[in-house]
Amino acid sequence: MQALIDVILPVFMVVAAGYAVVWRGWMSNEGVEALMKFAQNFAIPTMLFLALARLDLGNIFEWRLLVSFYAGAVAGFVAGLLGARFLFGREWEDSVAVGFVCLFSNSVLLGLPISERAYGAASLSANYAIIALHGPFCYAVGIMAMEGVRARGGGLLKTLGRVVKGLSANPLVIGIGLGVLVNLTGLPLPQVFMDGADLLARAGLPTALFGLGGVLYRYRPEGDLKLIAYAVVMSLLLHPMVTWGMGRALAVEPSAFRSAVVTASMAPGVNAYLFANMYGRAKRVAASTVLMATLLCILTAWGWMTALG
Protein backbone atom coordinates (compact mmCIF):
# COMPACT_ATOMS: atom_id res chain seq x y z
CA MET A 1 0.00 0.00 0.00
CA GLN A 2 2.88 2.36 0.76
CA ALA A 3 4.19 2.02 -2.81
CA LEU A 4 0.75 2.96 -4.14
CA ILE A 5 0.59 6.08 -1.98
CA ASP A 6 4.21 7.22 -2.19
CA VAL A 7 5.21 6.21 -5.71
CA ILE A 8 2.28 5.69 -8.07
CA LEU A 9 -0.47 8.04 -6.93
CA PRO A 10 1.65 11.24 -7.12
CA VAL A 11 2.44 10.47 -10.77
CA PHE A 12 -1.19 9.82 -11.64
CA MET A 13 -2.34 12.88 -9.68
CA VAL A 14 -0.41 15.01 -12.17
CA VAL A 15 -2.08 13.10 -15.04
CA ALA A 16 -5.48 13.55 -13.37
CA ALA A 17 -4.85 17.27 -12.93
CA GLY A 18 -4.25 17.63 -16.67
CA TYR A 19 -7.40 15.63 -17.39
CA ALA A 20 -9.49 17.76 -15.01
CA VAL A 21 -8.19 21.06 -16.38
CA VAL A 22 -9.22 20.16 -19.94
CA TRP A 23 -12.50 18.60 -18.78
CA ARG A 24 -13.44 21.82 -16.96
CA GLY A 25 -12.46 23.93 -19.96
CA TRP A 26 -9.66 25.76 -18.11
CA MET A 27 -7.21 24.84 -20.86
CA SER A 28 -7.91 24.37 -24.54
CA ASN A 29 -6.88 21.41 -26.66
CA GLU A 30 -4.44 23.74 -28.40
CA GLY A 31 -2.84 24.58 -25.04
CA VAL A 32 -2.43 20.90 -24.23
CA GLU A 33 -0.90 20.23 -27.63
CA ALA A 34 1.57 23.07 -27.03
CA LEU A 35 2.54 21.57 -23.66
CA MET A 36 3.04 18.14 -25.19
CA LYS A 37 5.03 19.63 -28.05
CA PHE A 38 7.35 21.38 -25.59
CA ALA A 39 7.77 18.23 -23.51
CA GLN A 40 8.14 15.69 -26.31
CA ASN A 41 10.10 17.82 -28.78
CA PHE A 42 12.41 19.71 -26.40
CA ALA A 43 12.46 18.87 -22.69
CA ILE A 44 12.34 15.05 -22.81
CA PRO A 45 14.81 14.77 -25.74
CA THR A 46 17.16 16.96 -23.69
CA MET A 47 16.68 14.66 -20.68
CA LEU A 48 17.47 11.60 -22.81
CA PHE A 49 20.48 13.38 -24.35
CA LEU A 50 21.94 14.09 -20.91
CA ALA A 51 21.21 10.58 -19.65
CA LEU A 52 22.84 8.84 -22.62
CA ALA A 53 25.79 11.25 -22.63
CA ARG A 54 26.60 10.41 -19.00
CA LEU A 55 25.91 6.67 -18.83
CA ASP A 56 28.35 3.80 -19.15
CA LEU A 57 26.95 2.48 -22.44
CA GLY A 58 28.93 -0.74 -22.28
CA ASN A 59 27.11 -1.72 -19.12
CA ILE A 60 23.56 -0.53 -19.76
CA PHE A 61 23.04 -2.31 -23.09
CA GLU A 62 23.01 -5.71 -21.44
CA TRP A 63 21.54 -8.30 -23.80
CA ARG A 64 19.72 -10.28 -21.08
CA LEU A 65 17.80 -7.16 -20.03
CA LEU A 66 16.85 -6.27 -23.61
CA VAL A 67 15.86 -9.84 -24.54
CA SER A 68 13.66 -10.07 -21.45
CA PHE A 69 11.84 -6.81 -22.08
CA TYR A 70 11.40 -7.17 -25.83
CA ALA A 71 10.37 -10.82 -25.59
CA GLY A 72 7.45 -9.58 -23.48
CA ALA A 73 6.72 -6.82 -25.99
CA VAL A 74 6.68 -9.24 -28.93
CA ALA A 75 4.49 -11.67 -26.96
CA GLY A 76 2.00 -8.85 -26.40
CA PHE A 77 2.06 -7.97 -30.09
CA VAL A 78 1.47 -11.56 -31.23
CA ALA A 79 -1.29 -12.10 -28.67
CA GLY A 80 -3.01 -8.83 -29.63
CA LEU A 81 -2.72 -9.58 -33.35
CA LEU A 82 -3.97 -13.17 -33.20
CA GLY A 83 -6.61 -12.45 -30.57
CA ALA A 84 -8.11 -9.59 -32.57
CA ARG A 85 -8.14 -11.75 -35.69
CA PHE A 86 -9.33 -15.13 -34.42
CA LEU A 87 -11.22 -14.31 -31.20
CA PHE A 88 -12.90 -11.11 -32.35
CA GLY A 89 -12.98 -11.61 -36.13
CA ARG A 90 -11.32 -8.32 -37.04
CA GLU A 91 -9.64 -7.77 -40.39
CA TRP A 92 -5.89 -8.37 -40.53
CA GLU A 93 -5.08 -4.66 -40.76
CA ASP A 94 -7.17 -3.90 -37.66
CA SER A 95 -5.53 -6.83 -35.90
CA VAL A 96 -2.04 -5.45 -36.54
CA ALA A 97 -3.09 -2.10 -35.07
CA VAL A 98 -4.43 -3.88 -31.97
CA GLY A 99 -1.19 -5.86 -31.75
CA PHE A 100 0.76 -2.61 -31.80
CA VAL A 101 -1.31 -1.34 -28.87
CA CYS A 102 -0.26 -4.44 -26.89
CA LEU A 103 3.37 -3.95 -27.96
CA PHE A 104 4.00 -0.30 -27.11
CA SER A 105 4.18 0.36 -23.36
CA ASN A 106 4.55 3.95 -22.13
CA SER A 107 8.23 3.68 -21.27
CA VAL A 108 8.92 7.42 -21.05
CA LEU A 109 5.91 9.30 -19.64
CA LEU A 110 4.94 6.61 -17.09
CA GLY A 111 7.84 4.16 -16.85
CA LEU A 112 10.52 6.74 -16.06
CA PRO A 113 8.77 8.76 -13.31
CA ILE A 114 7.37 5.67 -11.57
CA SER A 115 10.73 3.87 -11.67
CA GLU A 116 12.52 6.99 -10.43
CA ARG A 117 10.13 7.50 -7.51
CA ALA A 118 10.28 3.82 -6.60
CA TYR A 119 13.98 3.06 -6.96
CA GLY A 120 15.77 6.39 -7.33
CA ALA A 121 17.39 8.23 -10.23
CA ALA A 122 20.51 6.06 -9.99
CA SER A 123 18.44 3.01 -10.99
CA LEU A 124 17.33 4.41 -14.36
CA SER A 125 20.19 3.20 -16.55
CA ALA A 126 18.20 0.08 -17.52
CA ASN A 127 15.19 2.26 -18.35
CA TYR A 128 17.31 4.36 -20.68
CA ALA A 129 18.66 1.26 -22.41
CA ILE A 130 15.08 0.11 -23.09
CA ILE A 131 13.97 3.58 -24.23
CA ALA A 132 16.89 3.96 -26.64
CA LEU A 133 15.60 1.03 -28.72
CA HIS A 134 11.89 1.24 -27.96
CA GLY A 135 10.54 3.48 -30.71
CA PRO A 136 12.62 2.10 -33.58
CA PHE A 137 11.99 -1.52 -32.55
CA CYS A 138 8.25 -1.18 -32.05
CA TYR A 139 7.65 0.81 -35.22
CA ALA A 140 9.76 -1.63 -37.23
CA VAL A 141 7.66 -4.55 -35.95
CA GLY A 142 4.37 -2.74 -36.53
CA ILE A 143 5.22 -1.44 -39.99
CA MET A 144 6.59 -4.75 -41.26
CA ALA A 145 3.52 -6.60 -39.98
CA MET A 146 1.08 -4.07 -41.46
CA GLU A 147 2.75 -4.03 -44.84
CA GLY A 148 3.09 -7.80 -44.74
CA VAL A 149 -0.64 -8.35 -44.33
CA ARG A 150 -1.34 -5.79 -47.02
CA ALA A 151 1.05 -7.71 -49.33
CA ARG A 152 1.40 -5.00 -51.89
CA GLY A 153 4.59 -5.91 -53.68
CA GLY A 154 7.28 -3.32 -53.06
CA GLY A 155 5.20 -1.43 -50.52
CA LEU A 156 7.18 -2.78 -47.57
CA LEU A 157 10.55 -1.33 -48.59
CA LYS A 158 8.98 1.97 -49.57
CA THR A 159 7.14 2.26 -46.26
CA LEU A 160 10.19 1.21 -44.24
CA GLY A 161 12.10 3.98 -46.00
CA ARG A 162 9.49 6.49 -44.88
CA VAL A 163 9.65 5.14 -41.33
CA VAL A 164 13.45 5.40 -41.20
CA LYS A 165 13.20 8.95 -42.51
CA GLY A 166 10.51 9.78 -39.95
CA LEU A 167 12.47 8.27 -37.06
CA SER A 168 15.58 10.17 -38.08
CA ALA A 169 13.59 13.40 -37.65
CA ASN A 170 12.02 12.29 -34.35
CA PRO A 171 13.22 14.54 -31.48
CA LEU A 172 13.44 11.61 -29.04
CA VAL A 173 15.63 9.65 -31.46
CA ILE A 174 17.76 12.75 -32.12
CA GLY A 175 18.25 13.32 -28.39
CA ILE A 176 19.25 9.70 -27.86
CA GLY A 177 21.57 9.73 -30.89
CA LEU A 178 23.33 12.93 -29.86
CA GLY A 179 23.75 11.64 -26.32
CA VAL A 180 25.35 8.43 -27.58
CA LEU A 181 27.60 10.44 -29.92
CA VAL A 182 28.84 12.68 -27.08
CA ASN A 183 29.35 9.64 -24.87
CA LEU A 184 31.37 7.68 -27.42
CA THR A 185 33.50 10.60 -28.61
CA GLY A 186 34.10 12.12 -25.17
CA LEU A 187 33.26 15.52 -26.65
CA PRO A 188 33.63 18.14 -23.87
CA LEU A 189 30.64 20.44 -23.50
CA PRO A 190 30.71 23.79 -21.66
CA GLN A 191 29.39 23.62 -18.11
CA VAL A 192 27.00 26.50 -18.78
CA PHE A 193 25.45 24.45 -21.59
CA MET A 194 25.05 21.40 -19.35
CA ASP A 195 23.51 23.49 -16.56
CA GLY A 196 20.97 25.00 -18.96
CA ALA A 197 20.19 21.58 -20.39
CA ASP A 198 19.62 20.25 -16.87
CA LEU A 199 17.07 22.99 -16.19
CA LEU A 200 15.23 22.22 -19.40
CA ALA A 201 15.32 18.46 -18.79
CA ARG A 202 13.81 18.76 -15.31
CA ALA A 203 10.68 20.33 -16.80
CA GLY A 204 10.10 17.41 -19.15
CA LEU A 205 8.36 14.70 -17.15
CA PRO A 206 6.00 16.88 -15.05
CA THR A 207 4.93 18.81 -18.15
CA ALA A 208 4.44 15.63 -20.18
CA LEU A 209 2.42 13.93 -17.43
CA PHE A 210 0.13 16.96 -17.10
CA GLY A 211 -0.26 17.15 -20.87
CA LEU A 212 -0.92 13.41 -21.08
CA GLY A 213 -3.95 13.89 -18.83
CA GLY A 214 -5.30 16.52 -21.22
CA VAL A 215 -4.73 14.27 -24.22
CA LEU A 216 -6.49 11.33 -22.54
CA TYR A 217 -9.63 13.45 -22.04
CA ARG A 218 -10.30 13.03 -25.77
CA TYR A 219 -10.10 9.22 -25.59
CA ARG A 220 -13.52 8.25 -24.28
CA PRO A 221 -14.38 4.53 -24.60
CA GLU A 222 -16.99 3.83 -27.27
CA GLY A 223 -17.98 0.31 -28.40
CA ASP A 224 -15.66 -2.66 -28.92
CA LEU A 225 -15.50 -3.05 -25.15
CA LYS A 226 -14.59 -6.75 -25.22
CA LEU A 227 -11.70 -6.18 -27.59
CA ILE A 228 -10.58 -3.15 -25.58
CA ALA A 229 -10.63 -5.25 -22.39
CA TYR A 230 -8.60 -7.96 -24.13
CA ALA A 231 -5.99 -5.43 -25.28
CA VAL A 232 -5.77 -3.96 -21.77
CA VAL A 233 -5.12 -7.41 -20.28
CA MET A 234 -2.41 -8.17 -22.85
CA SER A 235 -0.73 -4.82 -22.18
CA LEU A 236 -0.87 -4.77 -18.40
CA LEU A 237 -0.48 -8.47 -17.62
CA LEU A 238 0.99 -10.54 -20.45
CA HIS A 239 3.86 -8.22 -21.35
CA PRO A 240 5.23 -7.96 -17.77
CA MET A 241 4.56 -11.68 -17.12
CA VAL A 242 6.75 -12.71 -20.07
CA THR A 243 9.39 -10.12 -19.13
CA TRP A 244 9.39 -11.46 -15.57
CA GLY A 245 9.75 -15.08 -16.72
CA MET A 246 12.52 -14.30 -19.22
CA GLY A 247 14.33 -12.09 -16.73
CA ARG A 248 14.36 -14.86 -14.14
CA ALA A 249 15.41 -17.47 -16.69
CA LEU A 250 18.29 -15.29 -17.93
CA ALA A 251 19.30 -14.18 -14.41
CA VAL A 252 18.99 -10.46 -15.14
CA GLU A 253 20.66 -8.31 -12.47
CA PRO A 254 18.05 -7.31 -9.80
CA SER A 255 18.02 -3.55 -10.43
CA ALA A 256 17.70 -4.00 -14.19
CA PHE A 257 15.08 -6.72 -13.66
CA ARG A 258 12.92 -4.32 -11.62
CA SER A 259 13.17 -1.62 -14.27
CA ALA A 260 12.29 -4.05 -17.06
CA VAL A 261 9.21 -5.43 -15.29
CA VAL A 262 7.94 -2.01 -14.18
CA THR A 263 8.39 -0.59 -17.69
CA ALA A 264 6.70 -3.62 -19.24
CA SER A 265 3.73 -3.17 -16.91
CA MET A 266 2.99 0.37 -18.06
CA ALA A 267 -0.11 1.21 -20.10
CA PRO A 268 0.23 1.67 -23.87
CA GLY A 269 1.63 5.05 -24.86
CA VAL A 270 -0.04 7.62 -27.08
CA ASN A 271 2.12 6.27 -29.93
CA ALA A 272 -0.22 3.27 -29.98
CA TYR A 273 -3.02 5.56 -31.11
CA LEU A 274 -0.75 7.43 -33.51
CA PHE A 275 0.13 4.17 -35.26
CA ALA A 276 -3.54 3.23 -35.60
CA ASN A 277 -4.31 6.72 -36.87
CA MET A 278 -1.46 6.55 -39.39
CA TYR A 279 -3.10 3.55 -41.04
CA GLY A 280 -6.71 4.47 -40.28
CA ARG A 281 -7.26 1.12 -38.55
CA ALA A 282 -8.79 0.27 -35.12
CA LYS A 283 -8.46 3.90 -34.02
CA ARG A 284 -11.32 3.70 -31.52
CA VAL A 285 -9.90 0.53 -29.96
CA ALA A 286 -6.42 2.05 -29.72
CA ALA A 287 -7.59 5.33 -28.20
CA SER A 288 -9.90 3.68 -25.69
CA THR A 289 -7.29 1.11 -24.69
CA VAL A 290 -4.77 3.88 -23.97
CA LEU A 291 -7.29 5.58 -21.68
CA MET A 292 -8.58 2.48 -19.87
CA ALA A 293 -5.14 0.92 -19.43
CA THR A 294 -3.73 4.19 -18.08
CA LEU A 295 -6.46 4.28 -15.43
CA LEU A 296 -6.06 0.61 -14.48
CA CYS A 297 -2.27 0.92 -14.49
CA ILE A 298 -2.55 2.63 -11.09
CA LEU A 299 -3.55 -0.71 -9.57
CA THR A 300 -1.65 -3.14 -11.78
CA ALA A 301 1.64 -1.24 -11.45
CA TRP A 302 1.20 -1.32 -7.69
CA GLY A 303 0.64 -5.08 -7.89
CA TRP A 304 3.78 -5.66 -9.95
CA MET A 305 5.87 -3.45 -7.67
CA THR A 306 4.55 -5.31 -4.64
CA ALA A 307 5.51 -8.61 -6.25
CA LEU A 308 8.99 -7.25 -6.99
CA GLY A 309 9.42 -6.38 -3.33
Which residue range(s) make up the domain with 135?
2-308
Handedness of CA 245, 247, 253, 255 (dihedral sign): negative
Q: What CATH number should be reported for the domain holding residue 221?
A: 1.20.1530.20
CB count, 10 Å around CB of 2?
Answer: 8
How many domains are there within the chain?
A: 1
Q: How far apart are CA 38 and CA 263, in angstroms?
A: 23
Q: How far apart are CA 108 and CA 6, in angstroms?
A: 19
Q: 287 Cβ partners below 8 Å, 6+ apart?
A: 218, 219, 273, 276
Q: How far apart are CA 115 and CA 260, in angstroms?
A: 10
CA 72 distance to own-chain centroid? 13
Distance (Å) of CA 210 to CA 21, 34, 213: 9, 12, 5
**pLDDT, tens digit, 9 for 90 and up, residues 3-62:** 566 667 787 888 889 889 999 999 998 888 888 888 878 988 898 888 888 877 766 778
Beta bridge partners of 268: 105
Q: How far apart are CA 177 and CA 158, in angstroms?
A: 24
Q: What pLDDT is recorded for position 98?
A: 96
pTM of the model: 0.78
Handedness of CA 129, 135, 138, 141 (dihedral sign): negative
Answer yes or no: is pLDDT of 2 > 60.
Answer: no
**pLDDT, tens digit, 9 for 90 and up, residues 86-142:** 999 999 999 999 999 999 998 887 888 888 888 887 778 889 889 888 877 888 788
